[in-house]
């Protein structure tokens, strides 16, 4: 067909224009509600430390304790492989990467806890702890010893503790501003949310702080912790968590599943409260669908089985933790909570094995997609986006290296960002 030739049509331009006008509001709503991945690094875990325990050396102490546990209970690759059933061909590399990670960056995300892990204290004592936390966090960022992400978990918006939670948050944020400003890695956690109106209250609180300090509107985001049944299913039968994301007005950064509070609220007895219980799977499935496409990320919860005591007991706890982390990763919950330094070796071993086991296949599929070379799998653009995201997550946490991804795919980090839909986003 020549360039000047046209094909026959039956509809007038006014039909197309009319449909465009009718759907303009829908287009705008989709863009606002579902902006996609924020394009920033997501930590693989969150470590919680009570407000009165947090100190200048907490991060290094956790790394040193984790290394000591690894040296005592799995001193070499063969020992770690035997405990966790790691593939022989990956064991040496994973063991080395875990040791390097614990030395270089043992904690990716730290939350200083002023809620359940801290409990009720005299006001003067909590005031002092909140101010001290701000000073220590600011000093860590200035000195280059901070975790990539750090912040506090305040008390919730329930009437009994609301004023105390607001005051602690105010003291912490004010202390950071006085010490030089809010760090880029600041993360705040709002726990025990039951109604969307509590999320709205958090938004108004942060708006007021931003206005008081001349900060850009929307500068401060926060996580929503899902610990109650009301946060999943409302009295009217609707998925309440969707309303909470909407109520956050773009400030919600992630949804964190609270294993034990949520399980208890469902009547699950203590012996059976776990990440893999059916009530947990249901809650997280609802969270996952509600958050999909919104840019709000997901975090799984924790296990309270600690890897302490004799080697046999540590190995049992490690196997449990490793299995739960791998299960979460397979279900696209790329973050979880770690409650003890000895959880770090199995957190990173599970994460690194997850990304290294699938590296070559993912790289080959992505390279074939880019080259349109075909193969035994016909991938869609959405799958190429997922493959790129998989490789980017592996790069972010240290499971894979830039050079090997480039060698296997022929792609740069910028190429991966583009394929993953991260172009033009912060990261």
- Give 105-164 pLDDT, tens digit per residue: 999 999 999 999 999 999 999 999 999 999 999 999 999 999 999 999 999 999 999 999
In a domain, 232, yes or no: yes
Q: Are 275 and 267 in contact (CB under 8 A)?
A: no
Q: What confidence category does residue 194 fall into, taking pLDDT thresholds of 50, 70 and 90? A: very high
Comparing CA positions, the residue from 376, 306, 371 lying closest to residue 343 is 306
For the residues 320-327, what does the mean pLDDT come to? 98
Q: How confident is the model at residue 397 (pLDDT cuts 50, 70, 90)?
A: very high
| pLDDT (0 to 100) of residue 379 | 61
Do 415 and 269 lie in a common domain? no
Is residue 136 one of the residues assigned to a domain?
A: yes
Are 278 and 387 in the same domain? no
Q: Give the pLDDT band of residue 39 (cuts 50, 70, 90).
A: confident
pLDDT of residue 427: 41
User: Do residue 349 and residue 414 come from a single domain?
Assistant: no
365 and 352 in one domain? no
Q: What angle do CA 368, 369, 372 make, to 5 degrees?
A: 80
Residue 371 is assigned to a structural domain of this protein: yes
Q: How many domains does the chain have?
A: 2
384, 369 Cβ separation under 8 angstroms: yes
Exposure string of 238-256, with b = 16+ CB inside 10 Å and e = fewer, is ebbbbbbbbbbebbbbbbb
Please check the confidence at residue 426 and state whether its pLDDT lies above 50.
no
At residue 48, does pLDDT exceed 80?
yes
* Residue 37 falls inside a structural domain: no
Residue 170 token pair = 């105010």
Quote the pLDDT of residue 214: 97
Residues 364 and 343 in one domain: no
Please check whether residue 109 is in contact with residue 187, taking contact to mean a CB–CB distance below 8 angstroms.
Answer: yes
Co-location of 324 and 409 in the same domain: no
pLDDT score of 377: 56
Distance CA 422, CA 427 (A): 8
Range of the domain at 393: 360-419
Domain match, 193 and 276 both: yes
Are 277 and 263 in contact by the 8 Å Cβ rule? The answer is yes
> Residues 190-218: what's their mean pLDDT?
97
> Do 228 and 261 sit in the same domain of this protein?
yes
Please tell me whether residue 74 adopts helix, strand or coil conformation: coil
Q: Do 273 and 402 share a domain, yes or no?
A: no
User: Tens digit of pLDDT for each residue in 400-414?
Assistant: 999 999 999 999 999
pLDDT score of 59 more than 60: yes
- Mean pLDDT over residues 42-64, rounded? 97
Confidence class of residue 83 from pLDDT cuts 50, 70 and 90?
very high
The pTM score is 0.92
- Three-state DSSP at 373 gives coil
Which 8-state DSSP code applies to residue 53?
Answer: T
* Structural domain includes residue 19: no
Q: Tell me, yes or no, whether 79 and 214 share the same domain.
A: yes
Domain-terminating residue out of 331, 357, 383: 357
Strand ranges in 55-173 using DSSP code E only, listed in sequence order: 109-113, 149-153
Rg, Å, the chain Cα set: 23
β-bridge mates for residue 345, sequence order: none
Q: 280 near 324, Cβ under 8 Å?
A: no
Q: What is the pLDDT of residue 185?
A: 96
Asked whether residue 292 is domain-assigned, the answer is yes
Contact 257, 290 (CB under 8 A): no
Would you place residue 425 in the very low, low, confident or very high pLDDT band (cuts 50, 70, 90)? very low
* Same domain as 392, residue 346: no
CB 209 within 8 A of CB 159: no
The confidence score (pLDDT) of residue 1 equals: 47
Strand partners of residue 242: none
DSSP labels for 158-185? STTTHHHHHHHHHHHHHHHHHTTS--TT
Q: Find the CATH number of the domain harbouring 228.
A: 3.20.20.60
Q: Is residue 73 part of a domain?
A: yes
Cβ distance 190 to 152 under 8 Å? no
**Domain ends where: 339, 357, 375?**
357
Residues 244 and 369 in one domain: no
Strand ordering across the sheet containing 45-50: 297-299, 252-257, 222-226, 186-190, 149-153, 109-113, 45-50, 336-338
Asked if the model's pLDDT at residue 394 lies above 80, the reply is: yes
Give the chain's length. Answer: 427
Question: Any alpha helices (H) in 300-380, and if so which ranges?
Answer: 311-330, 344-357, 359-371
CB distance 259 to 275 below 8 Å: yes
Say if 4 falls within a structural domain: no
């Amino acid at each position: 067909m020549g360039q000047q030739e046209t094909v026959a049509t039956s509809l007038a331009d006014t039909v197309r224009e009319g449909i465009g006008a009718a759907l303009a509001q829908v287009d705008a709503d989709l863009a606002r509600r579902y902006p996609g991945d924020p394009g920033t690094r997501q930590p693989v875990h969150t470590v919680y430390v009570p407000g009165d325990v947090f100190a200048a050396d907490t991060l290094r102490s956790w790394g040193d304790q984790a290394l000591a546990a690894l040296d005592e209970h799995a001193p070499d690759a063969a020992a770690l492989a035997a405990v966790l059933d790691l593939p022989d061909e990956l064991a040496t590399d994973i063991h080395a990467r875990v040791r390097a990670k614990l030395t270089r960056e043992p904690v990716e995300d730290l939350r200083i806890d002023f809620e359940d892990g801290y409990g009720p204290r005299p006001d003067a004592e909590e005031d002092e702890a909140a101010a001290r936390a701000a000073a220590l966090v600011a000093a860590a960022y200035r000195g280059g010893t901070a975790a990539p992400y750090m912040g506090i978990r305040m008390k919730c918006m329930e009437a009994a503790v609301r004023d105390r939670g607001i005051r602690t948050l105010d003291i912490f944020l004010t202390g950071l501003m006085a010490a030089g400003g809010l760090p880029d890695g600041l993360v705040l956690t709002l726990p025990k949310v039951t109604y969307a109106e509590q999320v709205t209250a958090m938004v108004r609180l942060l708006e007021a702080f931003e206005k008081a300090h001349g900060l850009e509107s929307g500068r401060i985001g926060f996580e929503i912790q899902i610990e109650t049944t009301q946060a999943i299913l409302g009295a009217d039968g609707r998925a309440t968590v969707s309303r909470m994301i909407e109520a956050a007005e773009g400030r919600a950064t992630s949804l964190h599943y609270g294993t034990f509070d949520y399980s208890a609220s469902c009547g699950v007895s203590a012996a059976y409260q776990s990440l893999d219980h059916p009530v947990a799977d249901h809650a997280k499935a609802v969270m996952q669908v509600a958050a999909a496409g919104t840019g709000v990320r997901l975090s799984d919860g924790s296990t309270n089985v600690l890897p302490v005591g004799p080697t046999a007991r540590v190995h049992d706890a490690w196997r449990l933790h490793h299995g739960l982390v791998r299960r979460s990763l397979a279900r696209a919950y790329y973050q979880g909570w770690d409650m003890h330094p000895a959880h770090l070796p199995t957190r990173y071993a599970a994460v690194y094995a997850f990304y290294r086991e699938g590296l070559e296949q993912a790289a080959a599929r992505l390279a074939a997609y880019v080259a349109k070379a075909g193969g035994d799998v016909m991938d869609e653009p959405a799958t190429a986006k997922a493959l790129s995201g998989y490789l980017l997550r592996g790069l972010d946490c240290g499971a894979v290296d830039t050079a090997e991804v480039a060698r296997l795919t022929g792609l740069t980090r910028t190429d991966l960002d583009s394929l993953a839909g991260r172009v033009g986003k912060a990261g």
